[in-house]
């Protein structure tokens, strides 16, 4: 499964997105050995690329990414706990689980740190639900809120964990996709591109982070950014989209804007 984003307005998607290649880091003091990161040769995506990333009608919600707008952020922190744990900027369901939050300093290439060794992961897979290859598409999607104060980027690889595992392992059906598979895939010379999507404070995404190589980034931004995360089986369209000209149908169906 390639990267699929719910989108009906290619111009809006293009305004937010750039694309680059990836590289593996070796012997870097801040990163795990072999971590996969963007090369930095960013360029805007074109209309054909935007169209190729668009989720087709009928795509399962668990396999698509959405770029979403959340409620306005409060001007100041009034509660002793993070405000979003007291008043989430959306309406939770009984199955919504608050996962965690993390603050990334300004101008950081990739955000996520492995707290067991203090090293950054680079592009990685989440593993909240710990599902094997054949059930991976049943994993919950992750909702991320950029709580500010600064902007941040969402980084997404354009090949999913199932594609990667099929290439690497003859017994892929018995595997549990892992970040190490992304690294092995790139090491074998397979093409992987990285999309970065700018998210202002109060914006976010809902994405299958157990299927898609991903991370956050604050490259080029001076302010720090705190990201808050929730897990659930959200239907497509639960939150207002940043890149649709009209509310899409289930799975991202809709007529692209001619803007």
- In angstroms, rounded to a whole number, what is the distance separating the alpha carbons of residues 193 and 158? 6
pTM to 2 decimals? 0.92
Span 89-131, pLDDT tens digits: 999 999 999 999 999 999 999 999 999 999 999 999 999 999 9
According to the model, what pLDDT value does residue 258 have? Answer: 33
According to the model, what pLDDT value does residue 246 have? Answer: 57
DSSP for the chain, please give it.
-B--B--S-HHHHHHHEEEEEEEE--S-TTEEEEEEEE-S--EE--HHHHHHHBPPTT--GGG-BEEEE-PPPPSS--SSS-HHHHS-SS---TT-EEEEEEEE-SS-S---EETTTTEEEESB---SS---GGGGGGSPEEEEEEEEES-EEEEEESB-HHHHHHHH-TTGGG----HHHHHHHHHTT---EEEEEEE-TTEEEEE-TTTS-EEEE-TT--S-EEEEEEEE-PPTTSS-BSS-SS---TTS--PPP--
Q: In CATH, what class is 10-70+94-232?
A: mainly beta
According to the model, what pLDDT value does residue 259 have? Answer: 33
- In angstroms, rounded to a whole number, what is the distance separating the alpha carbons of residues 157 and 163? 12
Strand pairing report for 113-114 and 225-232: unpaired
Span 200-258, pLDDT tens digits: 999 999 999 999 999 999 999 999 999 999 999 999 999 999 998 855 444 443 333 33
According to the model, what pLDDT value does residue 255 have? Answer: 36
Arithmetic mean of pLDDT over the chain: 91
What value does the mean pLDDT take over residues 5-14? Answer: 94
74 pLDDT more than 90: no
174 pLDDT more than 90: no
According to the model, what pLDDT value does residue 242 have? Answer: 97
Chain centroid offset of residue 173 CA: 24
According to the model, what pLDDT value does residue 245 have? Answer: 80
Tokens at residue 191, please?
Answer: 């093409």
Span 43-71, pLDDT tens digits: 999 989 999 999 998 899 999 999 999 97
77 pLDDT more than 80: no
């Amino acid at each position: 499964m390639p990267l699929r984003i719910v989108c009906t307005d290619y111009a809006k998607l293009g305004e937010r997105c750039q694309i680059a290649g990836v590289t593996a880091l070796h012997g870097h003091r801040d990163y795990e050995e072999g971590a996969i990161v963007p090369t930095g040769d960013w360029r805007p995506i074109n209309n054909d690329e935007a169209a190729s990333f668009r989720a087709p009608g009928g795509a399962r919600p668990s396999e698509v990414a959405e770029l979403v707008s959340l409620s306005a952020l409060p001007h100041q922190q009034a509660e002793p706990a993070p405000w979003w744990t007291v008043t989430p900027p959306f309406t939770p369901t009984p199955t919504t689980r608050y996962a965690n939050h993390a603050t990334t300093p300004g101008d950081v290439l990739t955000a996520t740190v492995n707290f067991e060794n203090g090293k950054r992961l680079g592009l990685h897979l989440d593993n909240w639900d710990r599902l094997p290859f054949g059930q991976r598409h049943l994993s919950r999607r992750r909702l991320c809120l950029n709580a500010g104060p600064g902007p941040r980027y969402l980084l997404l690889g354009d090949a999913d964990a199932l594609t990667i595992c099929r290439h690497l392992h003859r017994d892929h059906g018995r595997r549990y996709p892992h970040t190490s598979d992304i690294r092995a895939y790139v090491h074998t010379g397979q093409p992987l591109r990285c999309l970065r999507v700018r998210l202002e404070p109060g914006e976010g995404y809902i994405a299958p982070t157990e299927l898609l190589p991903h991370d956050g980034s604050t490259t080029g931004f001076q302010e720090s950014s705190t990201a808050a995360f929730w897990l659930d089986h959200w239907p497509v369209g639960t939150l207002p989209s940043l890149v649709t000209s009209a509310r899409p149908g289930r799975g991202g169906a809709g007529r692209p804007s001619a803007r």
